[in-house]
Structure 1
Amino acid sequence: MSGLGGDEGGAEAAAWYESAVDSMLFFRCDVAESLGAMRRVAPGAPLGQAFAVYLGLLGTERAQAVAAGEEFARFRADADYTAFTERERAHLCAASVWLGGDIERAGALLREVNVGWPHDTLALAVGHQIDFFTGNADSLRDRIAGALTAWDEDDAHYGPLLGMFGFGLEETGHYARAEEVARAAVERQPCDVWGIHAVVHTLEMRGRFADGIRYLDARTRDWGANNMMAVHNWWHYGLYALEAGETGRVLEIYDATLDPASSSGLALELLDAAALLWRLYLDGDEALRAVGDRWGPLADAWAARDDGPHYAFNDTHAVMAYLGAGRVREAEALVADRAEWAARPHPGVTNHVMTAEIGLPVCRALIAFAQGRYGETVDLLLPLRGRLQTFGGSHAQRDAVQRTLVEAALRARRFDLARTLLSERLSLRPTSPYNWLAHARLAGELGQAALAATAREKATALAAPGKSALDGARAPL
């Protein structure tokens, strides 16, 4: 393996590097341990330094990012860049640019790496995650597609590439092809939790939640614990249970895997927790009673982080947690802090654009919703609904905001808009009980009792396979 700064460390460093890359691809928890071993053997290796920066940034954890930046600055102060290869310098440049806040340019630089070195797995994997964080669905697909023909299909890492490609296909709406590719990835490597995640996303977007429950249930040993995707994939399981109308099962999943007392408390896990509870928040009084006091500890966990303006997508979920807990002042304080930051120039900082253009209006819309100002929620969210992807996440994740718009339109009695929004949803996912139940509510508000009854019957019939799948579920909590 090239990229270790000449002969430093030799074969041992190369072996640890490959182990770390392999762990990253399969989201194993020992990736930092393997990288640490590699860097002890070859402390001046440029790829080890870049890799450490990537790890410090991939979790969207501000404290980790700051620590990675400080360590990288010490390396750069003494490094002789003339001794490094072009590929090494490209990685160091991408790491430096990302530390500086320009996430999109870092992703573009890594894509250039893969034009010249399509087998650079680190560049592919990190670039893929950057595409996810920035909501760049086309690049999420095409970055991997552009490298695939250069790979031998017998390579041990070809399977994870297929899993990444499958996710990109799903996010760009190629659902049948996405499912085919992602399933092929998992057939190659049953422990490919990102490939499993791609299959799960595809089933979610196609409204096949009963199939999703059975798929996850059959593979729980491969994805359900001891990897960095476990909590997120449990969140997907919770979404399936929610579609089935099984609030009790949703909360069992939350308590066992997403509650801050059960998870690691990392931002990406708290995000999932808030996103799941917020969907129940939107469902009204009965669901709110079922949730009970779960919001409080989640809001405490977000407050303890004190992240500052680091990633707008995280901010919106912190606001959800504060609002769910009835702590409106904390939500407003977060918005005020981000607004003050966004009012100042931050050239080249991707999160500045994300915050100013999407994050702040979404947060304000959530606050308005919690305070019963539903018309204001609609007015804030409606202009953004086609641009939400620009502040990151997946279609499934951003649907919490889209549902907030639907619910606000119904409560604001903006029935023409609600009809349009629900017509879109039903046309795209006619097998979703949530969509039919919302349609029934709209029909009821319009005095169309027969249509409302038919829509409720449709929702009940569609939920039945999911309930049955959950009744037979074996996934341990």
Structure 2
Amino acid sequence: MTTDRHGHTMTDTGADAVTPYEQALDDLLFFRPQIMETAKSVLAAAPRSVMGQSLMAYLGVLGTEEKDAAAAREAFVDFRSGLDTERLTRRERMHLAAATAWLDGDLHGAGRILGDISIAHPRDALALFVGHQHDFLTGDAVRLRDRVGGALDAWDEDDPHHGPLLGMYAFGLEESGHYERAEEVGLAAVARHPRDVWAIHGVVHSYEMRGRFTDGIRFLDARTDDWSSGTLLTVHNWWHYALYALEAGDGARVLEIYDSAIHHDGSAGMAMGLLDAAALLWRLYLAEDVHSARWERLADAWERRQDGPHYAFNDAHAVMAYVGAGRIARAQRLVQDRERWLAAEPAGANRAMTARIGLPVCRALIAYGQQDYSLAADLLLPVRDRLHTFGGSHAQRDAIQRTLVEAALRAGRSELARTLLSERIQLRPVCPYNWAAKARLEDQLGDPARAAAARERAAAQASA
């Protein structure tokens, strides 16, 4: 009976397929672009490998690409037809169930099954990685932390995959508010594997949430060769670098990064990359720093995708691009399409994500683009405390939280703006944006002394 290196039985997987399977896990954990080719090599050696087929199914959904998910579902249904599941191990049957649930749109069901696998088989790296990404895509910070934390005790520290598990754990710690511990664990992971881009990403997030922008830039600059090219996380880590530059007031550097690394003529047009591009330009848009040509190219890229209702988080960022490009009618058509889809009462987790969060956010972005700031604020207020339920990280969702702040300021709703800014400043006192926005509020309230003091704080933090 063939087993992987942790002793898990692999049905219909010969010894010649186990080696590429282990390599595929390594590529997956380190976000290497060759993961798809490595996964295909597993099936070339063992077409009926349950774990190889499960891996391919997971790869089809992790990128939030509608067409990839549809193709993966078709292939997985074909594989499962006539499959005698009684001859499989319980772990393999659970993987089949988790992959099937996700492909059918039941993200939360898939997450629960993956959690059960990690309890029974804590050294199943595939279940841990896919479950971790699931928790990110559904915005479940506690599970993002504890899914990996609950398994770490079963891993030997000298295991080659213990390091990337620490990197995953660091991100979970950061998203659940344990910033210092996240930095500590993330740095330990990077020390083991300098090219662990997910661990680098976890450390970067910990600096972002504490307003340590200069430290973040220094950290990334010190290991540029390890993260800045050739990985599946390259664009996203450049996005983080651009956020640091934006907070430091270096607009020229922000645009240099955008044009060279985030979105350009050679960009692949994948959803994850377009998300980063939209989220960065939207922050500039909120500051009335409009870049029409960039918005036009980005909106074109979103339109070429012709996405259906697949992941509400993507929809919100597509609407950002359409609004930024002045294509309000296109943004409204997306909203109307999702409304018709909901009226048909579809199944799956994206239904709730779209109805409860996605559509209110999209409508608010459109209202903001139409300068109906009070309506934008009214639409965002009821959902602001549960934005996490449609996915993303704190840093990603902050573009929407800032939209609420800006809408309140521009609508002249000073009491709301004061409350929102007080919340932000108490939580993140080292954030130039928070203080700059407070200065504008104090100007509106007719208190030049308080406005000047807030402006001074913003300038000091940006240049620190």
Q: How far apart are the structure 2 equivalents of 1:242 and 1:93?
A: 44
Partner of 1:216: 220
Partner of 1:474: none
Check whether the contact 1:4–1:47 (CA below 8 A) recurs between aligned residues: no
Runs of 4+ in 1 over 3 A off after TM superposition: 2-6
Please say if 1:154 is aligned against 2:153: no
TM-score of the aligned structures, taking structure 2 as reference length: 0.98
SS of the aligned residue for 2:81 comes to helix
Post-superposition Cα deviations, 1:411-469, rounded to whole Å, max 9, x if no partner, equal 0000011011001111111111111100100011111101111111111111113xxxx
* AA at the equivalent of 1:359: G
1:169 to 149, 152, 173: 173
Q: How far apart are the structure 2 equivalents of 1:103 and 1:21?
A: 22
Q: CA deviation at 1:5?
A: 4.9
Partner of 1:321: 321
How many residue pairs align between the two structures? 459
Larger displacement relative to structure 2 (312-321 or 255-264): 255-264
Partner of 1:471: none
Q: How far apart are the structure 1 equivalents of 2:266 and 2:442?
A: 41
Partner of 1:301: 301
Q: How far apart are the structure 2 equivalents of 1:362 and 1:326?
A: 17
Check whether the contact 1:141–1:165 (CA below 8 A) recurs between aligned residues: yes
Higher RCO (C-alpha 8 Å, min separation 6): 1
Q: How far apart are the structure 1 equivalents of 2:314 and 2:48?
A: 34
2:17 to 13, 23, 38: 13
The equivalences for 1:47-446 within 5 A come to 47-284=51-288, 287-288=289-290, 291-347=291-347, 349-446=348-445
Check whether the contact 1:274–1:321 (CA below 8 A) recurs between aligned residues: yes
Q: CA deviation at 1:259?
A: 1.2
Partner of 2:451: 452
Please say if 1:33 is aligned against 2:37: yes
Post-superposition Cα deviations, 1:236-266, rounded to whole Å, max 9, x if no partner, equal 0010011011111111000001114242210
Q: How far apart are the structure 1 equivalents of 2:211 and 2:10?
A: 50
- Matched residues, percent identical? 59
Check whether the contact 2:102–2:110 (CA below 8 A) recurs between aligned residues: yes
Check whether the contact 1:239–1:276 (CA below 8 A) recurs between aligned residues: yes
Check whether the contact 1:207–1:432 (CA below 8 A) recurs between aligned residues: yes
Larger displacement relative to structure 2 (449-458 or 8-17): 8-17
Q: CA deviation at 1:292?
A: 3.8
SS of the aligned residue for 1:149 comes to helix
Q: How far apart are the structure 2 equivalents of 1:219 and 1:351?
A: 38
Q: How far apart are the structure 2 equivalents of 1:440 and 1:32?
A: 50
Q: CA deviation at 1:78?
A: 2.8
TM-score of the aligned structures, taking structure 1 as reference length: 0.95
Partner of 1:468: none
Check whether the contact 1:204–1:396 (CA below 8 A) recurs between aligned residues: yes
Q: How far apart are the structure 2 equivalents of 1:9 and 1:459?
A: 59
SS of the aligned residue for 1:385 comes to helix
Post-superposition Cα deviations, 1:45-67, rounded to whole Å, max 9, x if no partner, equal 11111110100000000110011
Check whether the contact 1:4–1:46 (CA below 8 A) recurs between aligned residues: no
Q: How far apart are the structure 2 equivalents of 1:247 and 1:137?
A: 31
Check whether the contact 1:231–1:263 (CA below 8 A) recurs between aligned residues: no
Check whether the contact 1:17–1:34 (CA below 8 A) recurs between aligned residues: yes
Q: How far apart are the structure 2 equivalents of 1:157 and 1:395?
A: 27
Q: How far apart are the structure 2 equivalents of 1:155 and 1:64?
A: 32
Q: How far apart are the structure 2 equivalents of 1:146 and 1:240?
A: 32
Check whether the contact 2:292–2:324 (CA below 8 A) recurs between aligned residues: no
Check whether the contact 2:439–2:454 (CA below 8 A) recurs between aligned residues: yes
Post-superposition Cα deviations, 1:179-201, rounded to whole Å, max 9, x if no partner, equal 11111111111000000000000
Q: CA deviation at 1:10?
A: 2.1
Q: CA deviation at 1:13?
A: 0.6
Post-superposition Cα deviations, 1:140-192, rounded to whole Å, max 9, x if no partner, equal 00000110000001111001111111100101101111111111111111000
SS of the aligned residue for 1:375 comes to helix
SS of the aligned residue for 1:170 comes to helix
